[in-house]
């Protein structure tokens, strides 16, 4: 058996429906990955990744930044979208080339035509970083989907139901995978298990996640 051959077959794009409003597009962002990585580097040079405080007073293990008209922020006073980076008062960097288009194309594949994100949260996971189960509900228009792009090290994503107590499905998200959830699945609980150490050939010792939203 030829391991390389099978690795290539595995990375051919394919899609799997997870629910009425959710679709995983395996490898959908693979061709664009270098462009996305360059965009992340440019954004985070201007708006550095930082570990935000939760309203409960904890420091998140995931380091975050944003691009687009609005950015998601968390501090002692709560979660919200803000037009400026609280760290320097400057507007968040614009979405770099390729970001908006990729998100729109992925949303369209999942049945959400015309998705025009105004916010892109950049999450950087180092080994051990995790995100506990939550809903994305800080956006104004919940008819708009969430488009989530994974780069770098693989992570185990937990995809739950509309109530916290419902069982979760485990999905391993790989470099280039795109997950879309919206419609009846828009408020499904989700989270990420602690990242395992590793070295991704293109990205190194991290996982990056881009989450595109229509915030207002």
Residues 89-128, mask of contacts with ligand SIN (x by CB under 6 A)? --------------------------------x-x-----
Looking at beta carbons only, is 148 or 174 nearer to ligand SIN?
A: 148
Residue 113, token pair as written in the block: 């035509």
* 213 forms part of the interface with ligand SIN (CB under 6 A): no
Looking at beta carbons only, is 134 or 196 nearer to Fe ion?
A: 134
Cα(62)–Cα(123) distance, integer angstroms: 6
Looking at beta carbons only, is 11 or 50 nearer to Fe ion?
A: 50
Least distance to ligand SIN, CB of residue 72, Å: 8
* 148 forms part of the interface with ligand SIN (CB under 6 A): yes
* 22 forms part of the interface with ligand SIN (CB under 6 A): no
Looking at beta carbons only, is 6 or 81 nearer to ligand SIN?
A: 81
Q: Residue numbers of the site for ligand SIN (CB under 6 A)?
A: 121, 123, 131, 148, 157, 190, 192, 209, 211
């Amino acid at each position: 058996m030829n391991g390389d051959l099978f690795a290539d077959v595995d990375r051919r794009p394919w899609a799997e429906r997870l629910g009425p409003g959710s679709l995983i597009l395996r490898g959908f962002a693979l061709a664009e990955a270098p462009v996305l990585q360059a965009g992340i580097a440019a954004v985070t040079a201007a708006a550095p990744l930082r570990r935000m405080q939760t309203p409960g007073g904890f420091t998140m293990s995931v380091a975050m930044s944003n691009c687009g008209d609005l950015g998601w922020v968390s501090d002692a006073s709560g979660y919200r979208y803000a037009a400026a980076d609280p760290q320097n008062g400057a507007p968040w960097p614009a979405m770099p080339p390729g970001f908006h288009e990729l998100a729109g194309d992925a949303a369209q594949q999942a049945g959400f035509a015309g998705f025009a994100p105004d916010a892109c949260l950049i999450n950087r996971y180092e080994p051990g970083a995790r995100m506990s189960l939550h809903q994305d509900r800080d956006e104004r228009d919940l008819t708009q989907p969430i488009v989530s792009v994974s780069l770098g090290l693989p992570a185990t994503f937990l995809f739950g139901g509309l109530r916290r107590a419902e069982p979760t499905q485990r999905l391993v998200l790989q470099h280039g995978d795109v997950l879309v959830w919206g419609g009846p699945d828009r408020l499904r609980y989700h989270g990420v298990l602690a990242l395992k150490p590793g070295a991704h050939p293109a990205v190194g010792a991290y996982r990056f996640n881009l989450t595109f939203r229509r915030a207002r």
